Chains A and B, each alone.
Chain A
Amino acid sequence: MNPTHRFQCLKSYQASYWFCVVVCALLIGLGAYCALTMEHAGHIVSGMNNHVVWGLPHVFAVSLIVSASGALNGATLASVFGNPHYKPIARLSVALAMCLLIGGLLVLVLDLGRPDRLIVAMTTYNFRSIFAWNIFLYTGFLIIGVGYLWMMMEKRFHRHVLTAGRIALFWRIVLTSGTGCIFGFLVGRNALDSALLAPMFIALSLVMGTAALSLVLVVLAKWQPAVLTTALIQSLNRVLIWFLLALLYFSVVHHLTNLYVSEHHDIERHLLSGEHAALFWVGHILLGVIAPIVIIVSRKPEFALITRMVVSSACALLGSAALLYVIIIGSQSSPQVLFPGKTVVQSSFGDGGFTSYQPSLWEWGLGIGGVFLALLLCLVVLRVLPLLPESTHGSGLRVNGVQSALEPSDSTDHSAASVAVSGS
């Protein structure tokens, strides 16, 4: 019989925990004020206009939503693929995924022109719209997440964890594809009209979700060292490299296919050498893909394993957000081709020209508020539910041979590490 891993609530009463709670609450308050201002004054206070209709809040919202899907990968690796290193953090992975999704959805809703009509969006559907389908996918994700957690936490349901994990995996693949399709189904936008966006968003979600999970684990390890083992860090770093390479592959193929089609040359010139070139090349390619990979594979002893994970995850997150900015904003700020073979000489609406978009502080506030709402939710949930593995100093830990990454270690060989866990 497999020994059962024991879980507990976040037990920390350190000042740093409350400091994090207060910082999150303050930034959520700021976000709420920004949302209220935009709702009251209208989107005129944002940098958005009738050319760039989806602005920075969408970048934040989509980042959080795809991160949510990717963060669940920790639980998937444990339940579906049987990777023992992830079993202690499987519950945390599900909880974090749900919190990130709620944060992203809130930003999305508060950026609506009529957020007060949310009830309309929840009760009136056009099933031809991928957006309407996504409403079901998002709410379904939350319901499946609750069920998945329940299966993990209730001993008599442990035998159903694998089934719940498979359902969650299937659902998040569909969800991320659906999010990608929101952009990929836009036939009038040369930069977006591509089925490649669906798999690219899956890769993006795996990168952002893994990076977000890694950073959250590092913070939690300060209070509860057992959440982060050296073997887990090594595994997270390893999978991040593969996810980054997958993202780079889809990104390169997307741009190469666009460069092959002459009608897309103008938009590609705009994205790769225009206003957003720095974000693409420095943000996405250099900071978001090359830097994390180099940092992870570098074997220099002066960089601790955990430092490499923190820096590479932060780079991957920022770089992926930069890519999303280029996809969402870049596609709108370039002119839509209405008259192939003709040049717009004059237009009262700026047809044929590039639009400059500067996000306002209200948009930054709303987006940042959403991120910290997700984090605060996670801090609260971890406090009230036993989602974290018990500390190595506790009585019931079953982590054999794997030390907490934050604890002193004499050995660096963890190849024989194994964790015997059931119900995750």
Chain B
Amino acid sequence: MKSTASNSPSNASAAARRRFLQGLGTIGAALVAGSAVLPANAQATVKEIKGVTGKHRWGLLIDTTKCATGCDACVRGCNAEHGINSTGNPDTDAQWIRKIELKDNLTGQLSSLPMMCQHCESAPCVDVCPTGASFKRADGVVLVNKHTCIGCRYCMMACPYKARSFIHEPITDQLTRAPRGKGTVESCTLCVHRIDASGSQPAEKSAEKTVQQPACAVSCKEDAHNAITFGDLNDPDSEIVQAIERSQAQQVRADLNLNTGVRYTRL
């Protein structure tokens, strides 16, 4: 059979390739244009919950100069409050709050601090959760909806602070105030049940006086360290904001620009 240059398979293939490259160029241009719009919307969404408003933003200030090396009162207080028991394997145990001892590479100065969910304003865990089970309340508290968490652990991959725990084995005797279950992810709730229990307090009182303190802060205070201050980050007159201003408190991994709700002095 006589074959001409115009209808040979190689020419047809080359023409198809040209059409494809043209199409690819168009799609590429559209994607570049789309990516320019994306960052403008790249903020964590806020879930509306009855009675919770953006008037307050709850947060913690950790004074590392007061946090004692070897002390784990905050961890014990948190575990007792939420019914978290150790199985003896810290790698699979739930750790809503943990203690870390640090040494400065330049000065050799030692410091001690508790690490927990930082309740970020732009929370990566909220952004990546496929079902929206990880969510942020209007008052800044980042939580996990135990009814819609499918246990994909993407939030754990995304959290820069390793602050989330996956429940690896069946657990029993959970507390009503802290629903937990095998196969789901959990983390510090900032003792949200205490915050919500204080919701009926008179509005004229200042926020931190009316709202119950989280268990970690209470335990730290009971151990006479007083290294954890809880309060309203939106209130410029609150004790926590005043202390943050005085101490020039910092965020952990401030370079990520997550605007954390937990701040540290002398980090």
6 residue pairs from A and B, CB less than 8 Å apart: A42-B183, A114-B184, A126-B130, A129-B154, A186-B157, A351-B100
Q: Report Cα–Cα, A82/B20, bound state, in Å.
A: 11
User: Which positions 124-149 of chain B face chain A at CB distance < 8 Å?
Assistant: 124, 126-132, 148-149
Q: Report Cα–Cα, A185/B42, bound state, in Å.
A: 12
| B20 touching A121, Cβ below 8 Å | no
| A349 touching B95, Cβ below 8 Å | yes
- Chain A hits for B177, CB < 8 A: none
Cβ of A44 under 8 Å from chain B? yes
With contacts A50-B156, A126-B129, A343-B103 taken as known, whether A113 is within 8 angstroms of B91 at the C-beta atoms is no
- Chain B hits for A42, CB < 8 A: 167-170, 182-183
| B17 touching A344, Cβ below 8 Å | no
Cβ of A19 under 8 Å from chain B? no
User: How many pairs of residues, A versus B, come closer than 8 Å at their CB atoms?
Assistant: 204
- Stretch of A238-246, A283-291, A333-341, A403-411 with 4 or more beta carbons under 8 angstroms from chain B: A333-341
Cβ of A260 under 8 Å from chain B? no
| A358 → B minimal CB distance (Å) | 12
User: Which positions 129-187 of chain A face chain B at CB distance < 8 Å?
Assistant: 129-132, 135, 166, 169-170, 182, 185-187
Cβ of A249 under 8 Å from chain B? no
Cβ of B227 under 8 Å from chain A? no
Minimum CB distance partner of B35 in chain A: A195
A50-B91, A130-B128, A347-B101 are known; give 20 further A-B pairs, CB within 8 A.
A43-B169, A49-B168, A50-B156, A50-B162, A83-B13, A84-B9, A112-B152, A115-B150, A117-B151, A185-B128, A186-B158, A188-B160, A332-B157, A336-B160, A338-B100, A342-B105, A343-B102, A349-B95, A349-B162, A350-B91
| A44 touching B184, Cβ below 8 Å | no
Total interface residues in chain A, CB < 8 Å: 61
Cβ of A384 under 8 Å from chain B? no
| A348 touching B72, Cβ below 8 Å | yes
- The DSSP consensus for interface residues of chain A is loop
With contacts A53-B156, A82-B16, A114-B151 taken as known, whether A341 is within 8 angstroms of B128 at the C-beta atoms is no
Minimum CB distance partner of A113 in chain B: B151
Minimum CB distance partner of B92 in chain A: A49
| B106 touching A347, Cβ below 8 Å | no
| A332 → B minimal CB distance (Å) | 8
Contact pick for A125, options B132, B161, B185, CB 8 Å:
B132
Q: Report Cα–Cα, A129/B92, bound state, in Å.
A: 26
| A192 → B minimal CB distance (Å) | 8
